[in-house]
Amino acid sequence: MKSEPPRLPLHTRYTRILFAIAIILLLAGCTSSPVPRAIGTVPKQSISVAQVQQQPDRFLKRQVRWGGTILRVRNRKQTTEIEVLSRPLGARGRPQEKEPGTGRFIALLAGFIDPAEYPEQRSLTVTGYPKRAETRPIGEYPYSYPVVAVEQLHLWPQPPPPRASYFHSDPWYHPWYYPWHHPWPYSRHYFRRPWYW
């Protein structure tokens, strides 16, 4: 009679499962769209939207790396304008969506860009050179838009929707211990009798 091979300890099996999950997640991350080098590299000199608004001629030959939230896409005869609400950039040049805006700018691209591929509220990062500053109205307010001739751009993937949480507002709540989700020591005031008693 053949003896059964010894079973692995429980913690060893869990370790192997977690390792396999980590490999799968790593491979899934590698398949995402790569970030262009110019987008992920921090420029030597940081130039803000406000600086170009105030002195556009001073920064005509200075490369900028700006990003933010897409507000509008306008198709012209030979170019496309993407109006962006600038936001601070985080890791790899991704706009920090929860940070407040730091001004508006126009990303100018040659040719036609389909607005459906660059929808509003998506995050975008561009590199390029300021060409000029144009005054356009926002409502009744005349606003100075820095216009950037785009060299590189990257449309960031939309973040996944938040997962449903199993946590309850009560810090002592546990879904599998409903009758006893009150702090120790139990008392008659805190104890709840289950329905099957």
Contact 133, 53 (CB under 8 A): yes
Q: Which residue has the higher pLDDT, 184 or 15?
A: 15
DSSP state of 42: P
Structural contact between residues 90 and 96, judged by C-beta atoms closer than 8 angstroms: yes
Indicate whether 17 pLDDT > 60: yes
Task: Please list, in sequence order, all residues whose beta carbon lies within 8 angstroms of the beta carbon of residue 95, skipping any fewer than 6 positions away.
Answer: 67, 68, 69, 87, 88, 89, 123, 124, 125, 156
pLDDT in the model for residue 36 = 86
Which residues are registered as beta bridge partners of 134? Answer: 145
| pLDDT digit string, tens, across residues 107-145 | 999 999 999 999 999 999 999 999 999 999 999 999 999
Domains and CATH numbers, the chain: 37-155 (2.40.50.140)
pLDDT in tens, 33-44: 688 888 988 888
pLDDT band at 75 (very low <50, low <70, confident <90, very high): very high
Q: Does the pLDDT value for residue 66 go beyond 70?
A: yes
Confidence of residue 25 (pLDDT cuts 50, 70, 90): low
pTM for the model: 0.66
- pLDDT of the residue at 42: 87
Residue 165 has what pLDDT? 55
pLDDT tens track for 165-188: 555 555 555 555 545 555 555 444
Beta strands in 42-188 (DSSP E): 64-75, 79-86, 104-110, 123-138, 141-155
